[in-house]
């Protein structure tokens, strides 16, 4: 039915302008809610799957697969060390291991170990953005392995720990409780 409304808008511009004007009046000025012509195309979650790469802190969105630090080390050496240095010690881009206490100063370099509150973010960002020149080419197993490698380098998990959709959300990051919500009244 909404598609029919959209077609009528095209044929009968004067009337549709009136309808829109009435809708604006009804909802007041400024950021008025407007009735749209309903031109969105239905799309299935299956069709969106390749784009739906959000991983939430509770682990929802994590794909099947798994990896360990031992599996991650050679992948890191091949695909990540060129920017982040051998064993994540830093290169042209950020170090991925270590970090000073946050009480060192307001400009302390933020690292996985001293700052990141959730391990799921490590999986999410690695999968969506890395490697820089070939984002979203890593397999899920590779991302789990690299995530495990970075967590193990920082002593947050053991070298033998298997990271997967069940274990990763349970990793407790050292700075999990290090945050103050700036505007609680605006934060659900």
Q: Torsion-angle region of residue 84: left (phi > 0), alpha (psi -120 to 50) or beta?
A: alpha
Q: What is the DSSP string of 52-66?
A: -----TTSTTPPS-E
Residue among 9, 81, 95, 162 that touches other proteins (CB under 8 A): 9
Helix (H), strand (E) at residue 164: strand 163-164
CB of 160 to other proteins, least distance (A): 27
Is there binding between residue 106 and other proteins (CB under 8 A)? yes
Contact yes or no for 35/23 (Cβ under 8 A): yes
81 binds other proteins (CB under 8 A): no
Site of tokens 């690292």? 111
Q: Judged by CB under 8 A, does residue 58 bind other proteins?
A: yes
> Is the CB of 137 or the CB of 160 nearer to other proteins?
137
Only segment of 31-39, 73-81, 142-150, 160-168 that touches other proteins (CB under 8 A) = 31-39
Query: How far is residue 181's CA from residue 184's CA, in Å, rounded to a whole number?
Result: 6
Q: Which stretch binds other proteins (CB under 8 A): 34-42, 62-70, 71-79, 142-150?
A: 34-42
Query: Site for other proteins (CB under 8 A): which residue of 89, 136, 160, 172?
Result: 136
Bridge pairing between strands 163-164 and 66-67: antiparallel
């031992």: which residue's tokens? Answer: 70
Give which of 140, 131, 135, 151 is closest to 63, Cα–Cα. Answer: 140
Query: Measured from the CB atom, is 14 or 180 closer to other proteins?
Result: 180
CA distance 68 to 88: 16
Count of residues near other proteins by CB under 8 A: 65
Site residues (vs other proteins, CB under 8 A): 2, 6, 9-10, 20, 23, 30-45, 48, 51-58, 83, 92-93, 101-103, 105-108, 110, 115-118, 120-121, 124-125, 128-129, 132-133, 135-136, 178-183, 186-188
């Amino acid at each position: 039915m909404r598609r029919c409304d959209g077609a009528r808008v095209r044929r009968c511009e004067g009337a549709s302008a009136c309808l829109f004007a009435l809708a604006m009046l009804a909802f007041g000025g400024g950021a008025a809610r407007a009735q749209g012509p309903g031109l969105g195309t239905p799309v299935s979650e299956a069709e969106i799957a390749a784009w739906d790469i959000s991983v939430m802190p509770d682990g929802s969105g994590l794909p099947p697969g798994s990896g360990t630090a031992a599996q991650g080390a050679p992948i890191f050496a091949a695909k990540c060390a060129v920017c982040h240095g051998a064993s994540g010690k830093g290169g042209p881009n950020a170090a991925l291991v270590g970090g000073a206490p946050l009480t060192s100063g307001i400009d302390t370099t933020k690292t996985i170990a001293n700052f990141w509150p959730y391990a799921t973010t490590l999986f999410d960002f690695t999968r969506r953005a890395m490697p820089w020149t070939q984002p979203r080419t890593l397999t899920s197993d590779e991302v789990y392995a690299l995530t495990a490698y970075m967590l193990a380098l920082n002593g947050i998990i053991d070298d033998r720990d298997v990271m997967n959709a069940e274990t990763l959300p349970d990793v407790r990051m050292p700075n999990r409780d290090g945050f103050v919500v700036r505007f609680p009244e605006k934060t659900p």
